[in-house]
Structure 1
Amino acid sequence: MRNGRGGFTLVELAIVLIIIGIIMGAVLKGQDLIRGAQGKKLTSLVKSWEVASFGYYDIYGNYPNELDDILQSELKNKPDSSINLGGSTFYVKIGSDASNTLGNVIVLCVTNDCTGTFTSDQLFFAKSVDNSLDGKANGTTGDVLGATGITLGNGDIATTTNDAVTDVTGEGTDLNTSITALVYYYSY
């Protein structure tokens, strides 16, 4: 009810504030959903490399030594070797861990040479992958481990961009900003 003066009543202001709150809540929830979907997309990329590695094994009788083994093979639907999520680029490397008997690895790095450390935003995605693949988002146990060092070398096909993983050091490191790679041990 108006008394002749201009302006809004308290009820009108309350309704506007409620509407603004609902819109803000929806926007924030939407951002969380987008980040969650990006984490699933990164997990999907890792799984697609695992499937490609098993397909390579079925054809050639051994696991690939490096990305180029798969990229230059007869396999169809080859996965991407890098992915950009939320402003962060992740690079995929494959190979084996010479210092460990756990077998073949798929490695996610934040730089192509696997020397850069993860930021807190990139760790969110690393934890999402870890949790999706082995049920624990810690990097210290299970099939997905944080690592502080990756040694890259040439596999059968010498390239500079798709070097093979030849050794992993510091595996089992908690997922924090000191890690340089997320390592998925996919075959034993």
Structure 2
Amino acid sequence: MKSSQFSRRASQGGFTLIELALVLAVIGLIIGAIAIGKDVQRNAEYTKVEHKFLEQWKMTYDQYYQRTGTVVGDCQQAPTYIVNGSETSIGGSNACQRPGRQAVAGIPNSFSNTGLKICEGQGYAAGQTGDGDAVLAVQGLRDLMTRHGVRMPPGRGEGHEDRYVYQDTNGNTTEAQVCFQWNPSGTASGAGNVMVIRGLTPDLARYLDQVIDGKPDSREGRFRIQGRAAHAQSTDANAPGTAWEANNTVASNIGGSNQSGNDSTAIGANNPTGATATGRQYDEDRVTLVTAHWTMDQ
């Protein structure tokens, strides 16, 4: 009798298949919740970059225009409507002191020394976040804003208002920087005055493009990638644009001139061997960075 009672207790000491299934289901729910939580956190970080940094800088640019009557770095007494216009020349004279009765039209094509970008320091080295970086202007962004009493977004902190720190999808610290420049007619990333945003991961660039334009398209709309060549064929006119073809570690051939369906795939916008100097493409490595242009209203 005692032996049978002992055996029954022993047999009742394990887990049933139903109990094991329930435990596995709970573990699966926990893992799924953690994965979803990471996505929610990343989306929240992207929203902060857009609302607390880039949108604020667009409002700052517009406020500068409303307060001075000119775009950033332009001449107030003889405006050119070109970012950094005060460093340009026309007809052999400085833009701000140009005389009357000139034999040239006062349009952007007549000005020289244009297209310099106004930043607060260089930040990333030229070509480090994609092709097409313009030369740095003499004027500083922070000095122009404070001189005219325009309050800047907090950014990364006092003296670093043009920077914003976030984490890429691999967990590495990344810095975005805002500059402003003028693009001549025919520039594939948008003609006119643009906000230059350096240091974006492709994932963040797609998100920002979706918010600003309503669709992520690196060649069309008000938010485009820097350095992509313009459509070269007449059949490409008004054709669909190109996707942001880079993922975390692999960038595409952003220099191609054809539509996305014809673009060949390359690794690294400026580095044919990969996102890092050694060509590694691991999940712990730094994510490939790109530069975008956001066309301004003035």
TM superposition score normalised by structure 2: 0.48
User: 2:177 maps to which residue?
Assistant: 91
Any stretches of 5+ residues in structure 2 without a counterpart? 1-7, 74-117, 119-140, 156-161, 168-172, 231-240, 252-268, 270-288
User: 2:20 maps to which residue?
Assistant: 13
Structure of larger gyration radius:
2
Distance 1:19 1:180, change over 3 A: closer
Question: 5 Å matches for 1:86-125?
Answer: 86=167, 87-99=173-185, 100=187, 102-110=191-199, 122-125=201-204
Q: Residue 10 of structure 2 aligns to a residue in which SS?
A: coil
Query: Which aligned runs of 4 or more in structure 1 are off by greater than 4 angstroms?
Result: 171-174
User: 1:184 maps to which residue?
Assistant: 294
- 2:216 counterpart of 1:137: yes
Q: Residue 142 of structure 1 aligns to a residue in which SS?
A: coil
String of CA shifts for 1:78-128, please: whole Å, max 9, x gaps.
Answer: 342111221222111112214558321111112xxxxxxx6xxx1000110
Distance 1:181 1:71, change over 3 A: farther
Distance 1:71 1:17, change over 3 A: farther
Q: Residue 49 of structure 2 aligns to a residue in which SS?
A: helix
Aligned length: 157
Instruction: Output the amino acid matched with 2:180.
Output: I
User: Share of identical aligned residues, percent?
Assistant: 26
- 2:150 counterpart of 1:75: yes
Say whether the 8 Å CA contact 1:38–1:125 is kept in structure 2: no
Say whether the 8 Å CA contact 2:179–2:197 is kept in structure 1: yes
Say whether the 8 Å CA contact 1:90–1:108 is kept in structure 2: yes
User: 2:279 maps to which residue?
Assistant: none
Higher strand share: 1
Q: Residue 295 of structure 2 aligns to a residue in which SS?
A: strand
Distance 1:90 1:71, change over 3 A: farther
Say whether the 8 Å CA contact 1:108–1:182 is kept in structure 2: yes
**In the TM superposition, what is the alpha-carbon distance from 1:42 to its structure 2 partner?**
2.0
Structure with the larger RCO, 1 or 2 (CA within 8 Å, 6+ apart): 1
Distance 1:20 1:170, change over 3 A: same
Any stretches of 5+ residues in structure 1 without a counterpart? 111-117, 149-168
